[in-house]
């Protein structure tokens, strides 16, 4: 089992009347953001990610979100750049660059290649579409999201793997000289990770390309379906999906005892799902962001808003794992057995968790949970 520490870098200081606001995204005014507090937060969060190296994690994850309180990394490549020079062994997973939100995909090809070269080949390149809200925040037509994503992806991979200059004539991007300097160090290119939200198209698309498939926040019974879909996609492509290409994103909070973990963790997990992930429905699902088919499937799935799921159900249904080291080991083993993942992106800073709890959470997880699974994979 591989372990990455995921961070969202939220801005936890929401206005007092936040529960009456429609969302933590798009319309939550940035007058609520205090840059002085931000200086402390960014540096603290970066410290936490850097500490993962000492604790023996395989890697760390940064990601991209725009104009919200949930995650304050509009440029994940900037965060990766800050981390590359402060770490030596960790892989740094950018999960990912929001391709359709960029006007110029070659900026992604260039920046990720720079990071890969500077880091000596420690970069993992994730590609995402960005969430629905971001199509409002960036005024990108969501109905073009899938085709922009697909074309930008093809262009970036070609730019990394084909000698330039070459010409690219696509629907959304038309370039006479594609000739990206630097080329990435890892060959043919950095590993690609694809975070996804259950779209059947994405499962087989990722499997066909042997990309790592990552889940996002959802109940475990749904994750089972997604991972099965990815495995089926791999089978259809003529191979068996290895466990370490299936990754789960999981908020995890470990404390000395179950009681302590829940007493403290309830607030953090609730902040994440009920505040940070509070969306206006119309923002989260803009027109054309999904195919008509996927939209129909989504409507029929009856999947409600995160904010409608109680803390107890969040824990019970596998949205988060909270408990003593023994409980967390047990629950993680159970989930791994049920879902068949071999990669854990552990969200060890959750919501409004303070620094000391984050550090203790990371230490307990690294010392009392991770070794159990490493021994297991070594034995296997």
Partner 1 sequence: MSGQNDQHVVRHLDLGGGQIHLMRAGAGEELLFLHPAAGAGFWLPFHDLLAERFDVISPDHPGFGESDRLEWIDGMEDLVYFYLDLLEELELESVHVVGASLGGWLGAELAVHQPSKVRSLVMVDPIGLDLPAHPVEDIFAMNPDELRAALFVDQQLALQFISPEPDLDMLMRAFKEKTSFARLAWNPFCCNPKLHLRLHRVTAPTLVLWGSDDRLVPLAHGEHYRDLIAGARLEIIEDCGHAPLLEQPDRTVAAIGRFHDELAPDAEERAR
The contact set with partner 1 (CB under 8 A) reads 26, 135-136, 139-144, 280-283, 286-288, 292, 295-296, 299-300
CB count within 10 Å of CB 317 equals 14
Output 251 or 286, the one with its CB closest to partner 1: 286
CA–CA distances in Å: residue 34 to residues 58, 221, 272 = 33, 39, 20
Query: How far apart, in whole angstroms, are the C-alpha atoms of residue 346 and residue 350?
Result: 10
Q: How far is the CB of 117 from partner 1 (least distance, A)?
A: 35
Output 86 or 104, the one with its CB closest to partner 1: 104
DSSP 143: G
**Is residue 228 a contact partner of residue 201, using CB atoms and an 8 Å limit?**
no
Q: How far is the CB of 21 from partner 1 (least distance, A)?
A: 14
Output 85 or 174, the one with its CB closest to partner 1: 174
Q: How far is the CB of 140 from partner 1 (least distance, A)?
A: 7
Output 292 or 337, the one with its CB closest to partner 1: 292
Output 122 or 283, the one with its CB closest to partner 1: 283
Q: How far is the CB of 296 from partner 1 (least distance, A)?
A: 6
Q: How far is the CB of 299 from partner 1 (least distance, A)?
A: 6
**Is residue 261 a contact partner of residue 324, using CB atoms and an 8 Å limit?**
yes
SS (H, E, C) 5-55: EECCCCCCCCCCCHHHCCCCECCCCHHHCCHHHHHHHHHHHHHHHHHHHHC
Q: How far is the CB of 68 from partner 1 (least distance, A)?
A: 15
DSSP assignments along 214-268, one per residue: EE-S--HHHHHHHHHHHHHHHHHTTSPPPGGGEEEEEEEEE-SSHHHHHHHHHHH
Q: How far is the CB of 131 from partner 1 (least distance, A)?
A: 14
Output 26 or 343, the one with its CB closest to partner 1: 26
Pairing of β 2-6 and β 212-215: unpaired
What phi and psi values does residue 38 have, to the nearest 5 degrees?
Answer: -60, -40
Output 290 or 348, the one with its CB closest to partner 1: 290
């Amino acid at each position: 089992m591989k372990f990455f520490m995921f961070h969202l870098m939220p801005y936890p200081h929401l206005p007092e009347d936040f529960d009456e606001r429609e969302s933590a995204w798009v319309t939550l005014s940035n007058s609520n953001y205090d840059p002085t507090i931000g200086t402390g937060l960014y540096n603290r969060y970066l410290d936490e990610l850097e500490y993962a190296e000492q604790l023996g994690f395989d890697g760390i994850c940064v990601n991209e979100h725009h104009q919200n309180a949930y995650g304050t990394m509009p440029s994940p490549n900037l965060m990766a750049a800050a981390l590359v020079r402060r770490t030596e062994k960790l892989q740094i997973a950018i999960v990912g660059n929001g391709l359709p939100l960029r006007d110029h995909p070659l900026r992604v090809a260039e920046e990720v290649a720079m990071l890969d070269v500077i880091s000596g080949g420690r970069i993992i390149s994730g590609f995402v579409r960005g969430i629905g809200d971001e199509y409002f925040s960036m005024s990108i037509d969501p109905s073009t999201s899938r085709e922009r994503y697909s074309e930008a992806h093809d262009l970036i991979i070609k730019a990394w793997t084909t000698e330039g200059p070459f010409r690219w004539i696509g629907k959304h991007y038309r370039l006479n000289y594609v000739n990206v300097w630097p080329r990435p160090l890892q060959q043919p290119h950095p590993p690609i990770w694809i975070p996804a939200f259950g779209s059947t198209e994405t499962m087989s698309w990722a499997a066909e390309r042997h990309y790592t498939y990552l889940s996002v926040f959802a109940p475990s019974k749904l994750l089972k379906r997604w991972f099965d879909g990815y495995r089926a996609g791999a089978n259809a492509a003529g191979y068996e999906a290895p466990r370490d290409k299936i990754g789960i994103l999981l908020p995890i909070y470990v404390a000395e005892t179950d009681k302590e973990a829940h007493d403290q963790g309830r607030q953090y997990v609730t902040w994440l799902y009920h505040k940070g992930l509070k969306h206006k429905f119309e923002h989260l699902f803009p027109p054309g962001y999904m195919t008509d088919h996927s939209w129909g499937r989504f409507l029929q799935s009856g999947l409600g808003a995160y904010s409608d799921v109680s803390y107890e159900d969040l824990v019970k249904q596998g949205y988060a794992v909270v408990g003593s080291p023994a409980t967390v080991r047990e629950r993680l083993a159970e989930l791994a057995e049920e879902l068949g993942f071999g990669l854990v992106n552990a969200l060890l800073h959750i919501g409004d968790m303070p620094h000391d709890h984050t550090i203790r959470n990371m230490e307990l997880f690294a010392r009392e949970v991770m070794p159990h699974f490493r021994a297991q994979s070594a034995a296997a």
